[in-house]
Chain A
């Protein structure tokens, strides 16, 4: 059978990493295996025999890591490295029936992953806050389009923050 390729557009927010993992697994179950992510939201799949690939996403900014050591650990424990996209590292491994396949095995380290994500988002939020302050003065009034756009993006940030904090809190209670 000739291998086919499809591209899918799918949007996941930063706090939906587990939903993304589930979706990628579902695709593999249907015979579409992730080949690579072209750009955030654009996923390329190759057709093949249906397999139960379990996908896991790790968040780690690369300037703070020793990538060789990092990948060696994952490879040794059976994880195939697919790629990195905007700080997210994609891994997969064939599922073993009855076994929970996790790259994070305790709540503490899972919380650390979301903390790193929050730290990164905070850095990005800084220019937003600065532009909001700068746009306060004339000629920008309250309803100038640029101000409204920056405001909306800022609100989205606040929402993303809240969602990730909520996730951390849920993990803490377990």
Chain B
């Protein structure tokens, strides 16, 4: 899909970004919550209210899709569109991080 059209999704919120990271493989809601907490080393937590809303809007926008059901729990995975959006977000974050690191030394010297 045209990257210009996908720009409207950026920047993703921290929660959406982490949820999308976990959905590279099929996963159900509770699995997403656990994995986000684990890979972010406890920094990011996603509550069920936040996750339900994120799932609904991401599914509506075609960023994720339901791929199977496991013990009454729906498993979602990124769509092609979702993967593209996530890749664009990662690129953005890379730039943000490079920009931050560039001034970190000056920042630390002044503290």
Indicate if the CB atoms of A73 and B30 lie closer than 8 Å.
yes
- Total A-B residue contacts, Cβ distance less than 8 Å: 58
Indicate if the CB atoms of B15 and A105 lie closer than 8 Å.
yes
Residue of B nearest to A74 (CB): B48
> How far apart sit A102 and B30, CA to CA, in the bound complex (Å)?
15
Indicate if the CB atoms of A109 and B30 lie closer than 8 Å.
no
A56 cross-chain contacts in B, Cβ below 8 A: 49
Of B2-10, B50-58, B82-90, B94-102, which binds chain A?
B50-58
Q: Does B110 count as interface, using CB distance less than 8 angstroms? A: no
Given known pairs A69-B74, A72-B72, the reply for A77 and B48 (CB within 8 Å) is: yes
Q: Does B81 count as interface, using CB distance less than 8 angstroms? A: no
State the interface size on chain B (CB cutoff 8 A): 22
Indicate if the CB atoms of B48 and A106 lie closer than 8 Å.
no
Indicate if the CB atoms of B51 and A112 lie closer than 8 Å.
no
B47 cross-chain contacts in A, Cβ below 8 A: 77, 102-105
Indicate if the CB atoms of B46 and A105 lie closer than 8 Å.
yes
Q: Does B29 count as interface, using CB distance less than 8 angstroms? A: yes
> How far apart sit A69 and B32, CA to CA, in the bound complex (Å)?
14
> How far apart sit A112 and B49, CA to CA, in the bound complex (Å)?
10
Indicate if the CB atoms of B53 and A112 lie closer than 8 Å.
yes
Residue of B nearest to A108 (CB): B13
Residue of A nearest to B49 (CB): A103
Q: Does B104 count as interface, using CB distance less than 8 angstroms? A: no
Indicate if the CB atoms of B54 and A109 lie closer than 8 Å.
yes
* Interface flags, B36-52, vs A, CB<8A=1, else 0: 00000000111111111
B53 cross-chain contacts in A, Cβ below 8 A: 109, 112
A56, A74, A109, A112 — which one has the most chain B CB atoms within 10 A of its CB? A109
Q: Does B33 count as interface, using CB distance less than 8 angstroms? A: yes
A79 cross-chain contacts in B, Cβ below 8 A: 48
Chain A residues 74 to 113 lying within 8 A of chain B, measured CB to CB, are 74, 76-77, 79, 102-106, 108-109, 112-113
- Chain B interfacial positions (CB closer than 8 Å to A): 13-15, 29-30, 33, 44-56, 72-74
Given A56-B49, A65-B52, list of 6 further CB < 8 A pairs?
A72-B73, A73-B30, A73-B52, A77-B30, A103-B50, A112-B53
